[in-house]
Structure 1
Amino acid sequence: MTDPTEGRRAYGVLCVVSASLFTSLAGLLVRSVEDADGWTLQFWRQLCFLAFIWLFLAWRHGRGLPRAVVAIGRPGLIAALMLGAAFIAFVFALIHSSVAKVVFIGSTSPIFAALIAWVVLRERLPWATWLAMAAALGGIGVMLGDALALGAATGALLALIPVAGYAVTLVCFRARREIDMLPAVGLAGVVALIASGLMAEDLAISRHDFAIAAVFGVVQLGLQYVLTTLGARQVPAGEVALLGRLQLVLAPLWVWLAVGEIPSSATFLGGAIVLSAVLANAFHSLRTASARRPSVPPNPP
């Protein structure tokens, strides 16, 4: 007889792995754009994302959607603003830098979220996270130094904005962990849409680039958040973080296969340091969570 718990866990793992796969497509999609500039691409991406995410939220909450939006409170609004800025900066970072550099730098968000949670929420910060943070900073320093030497610091510096945005968002979500915070993600799309619409000189877009923007908004961004939300219900947080790191390998792989984009040796070195720090921290979190779990399941009530 199949264990229903194992079935739910397998479903959760599939959701999280799929989310990581969709997330990894960002660099390839940006490299596939023909004519649209960053603001125009961002506007149509967010428009498609909003159509998807709010339809999902309407299906999920039904008539209770307005209450779900109000329930996110101040932490949700802060998260929406920070995440909206992260959405925008992420696209421009990919335009101005290598995909590998952007995703390696961006992967440090959970580590720095732990630091912010330590300051704001007074959560304990394990020694392993301190070490991971120091190593991640070293890896980022190597990549920023390389970018400065190549005269391409803009993209690398822009990649730091999503790090801050996602880190603050994670802490805001943790502060209201009993609440569905996905509406905050939908509001972040509204923030990014308005900013992009105001900044874009021309919103005209070709069919090809609109198709790219639609996949970018619905698949890469929308499904990413929906699948992660669904998977996180069935899989421990440490395992979600670990499985999500698949994009660090996949994102540079797609652009290498499609357009022959090869990161510099310094990006490989800095990325290896960052990847080691992130994976070590995720493994430590997973092992700690497993140790806290009871070895014998409690009797059902």
Structure 2
Amino acid sequence: MTSHHNHQKGLLITAIGGLTLTVDIPLIRLADGGAWTIMLLRTGTTFVAAMVIWSVWRALSRNAPPLIPGWSGLIVAICYGLTGITFVTAVYHTSTADLVFILAFNTVFAGLLSWIFLRERPRLVTIVAMLIMILGVLVIVGGSVGTGKLFGDFMALCSAFFIAVAITISRASGKDMGFTSLVGVLLPMALAAFMVSGEGFHVNAPWWIIFNGAVVMPISFFCLAAGPKYISGPEVAMFYVLETVLAPVWVWMIFAEAPTRNSLIGGAILIVTLVAHSLWQLHEGRRQRGDLAVHHPA
């Protein structure tokens, strides 16, 4: 009963995180400001919110996780910091659909990095899924040639890579990196502060991005980081797909930005492959647990 309760709790927490994350890009767009100003406000408010949450946690409990657990934590923080820079840059140089579809490619990078550095050889089904997802990204990037979105697509691809590096190092270290991604915003915040000091502060609706950084980012990051404690990796991955599906919908409803044909085709390839592979992993996990129960009865 306790196991079932924890699973239900994990599903609820992760669903909240995944749904909250879907409004990140629309809020950035609604703020209507310069890229560096938006980055400064987004990262600054996220960092302040994270420090308040961590300070309260530490005051109430001795089990508060460290902000940066060792050298591995520092590298993970830098990776998330670089992700913050490339992500906001991509928002301003490509479509929302292209961005979130390409971000889903981080699963392929994570699989390859785990194969190379952690010696976790993927099964044939996973390799096939990776190849299909590569095809989906090539369709999206191919549609951006000559449209001025190629640089933005490349920045999105860099974001996916840095996320994958952070995930791989976190898994290899086995340390609690719950707050590390939030501390990592110091890197883009420092760069944005330097750039804003030169070009000036430009934003028309700052309350949107302040709300994004102070509320949306901490909630989504915390919930998505807590989810794996209660549910499996494939189930967590399913909730990450929510942003891939819903963010373009919100942007289309608010800004009337319709995805291109190539973006829809490539995105459909990525989403269907991700969902199908996650469902296969869930099925395999249940089958293996069933076999274990048969061979080792309680």
Provide the TM-score with structure 2 as the length reference. 0.90
Contact preservation (8 Å) 2:54, 2:64: no
Distance 2:240 2:262 in 1: 24
**Compared CA separation, residues 61 and 148, structure 1 to 2 (3 A):** same
Instruction: Output the CA distance in 2 between the equivalents of 1:176 and 1:13.
Output: 25
Aligned length: 293
Pick the aligned partner of 2:24 from 26, 36, 55: 26
Unaligned runs of 5+ in 1: none
Give the aligned partner of residue 114 of structure 1: 111
Distance 1:67 1:264 in 2: 43
- In structure 2, stretches of 5+ residues that fail to align are none
Segment drifting more, 109-118 vs 283-292: 283-292
TM alignment of 1:151-300, pairs within 5 A: 151-177=148-174, 179-200=175-196, 201-202=198-199, 204=201, 209-293=205-289, 294-295=292-293
Residue matched to 2:122: 125
Displacement after TM superposition at 1:33 (Å)? 2.1
Distance 2:152 2:200 in 1: 23
CA drift at 1:222:
1.4
Distance 2:124 2:194 in 1: 45
Write the deviation string for residues 160-186 of structure 1: whole angstroms up to 9, x where unpaired.
111111000110110122x21123213
CA distance in 2, matches of 1:279, 1:82: 26
Q: CA deviation at 1:41?
A: 0.6
Residues 93 and 159 in structure 1, CA contact (< 8 A), matched pair in contact too: yes
Q: In the alignment, which of 11, 14, 22 is matched to residue 16 of structure 1?
A: 14
- What amino acid does structure 2 have at the position aligned with 1:50? F
Within the candidate set 58, 66, 69, 1:68 is matched to 66
Name the structure 1 match of 2:92: 95
- Tell me the alpha carbon deviations over residues 43-74 of structure 1, each in whole angstroms, 9 at most, x when there is no partner: 1111110111222223334486898245x222
Paired with 2:11 and 2:18, the residues of 1 have a C-alpha distance of: 11
Checking the alignment, whether the CA contact within 8 Å between 2:65 and 2:178 is kept in structure 1 is no
Contact 1:108 1:278 in 2 (8 A): no
1:250 Cα deviation (Å)?
A: 0.8
> Among the aligned pairs, what percent are the same residue?
25
Provide the alpha-carbon RMSD of the alignment.
2.2
Contact 1:57 1:65 in 2 (8 A): no
SS of 2:179 mapped into structure 1: helix
**How far, CA to CA, are the matches of 1:220 and 1:264 in structure 2?**
28
Alignment-mate amino acid for residue 224 of structure 2: T
Q: Which shifted more, 283-292 or 48-57?
A: 283-292
> Aligned partners of 1:219, 1:69: CA distance in 2, in Å?
19
Q: Any conservation in 2 of the 1:30–1:95 contact (CA below 8 Å)? A: no
Shift of 1:7: 2.7
Query: SS in structure 1 opposite 2:184?
Result: helix
State the Cα distance separating 1:230 from its structure 2 match: 2.4
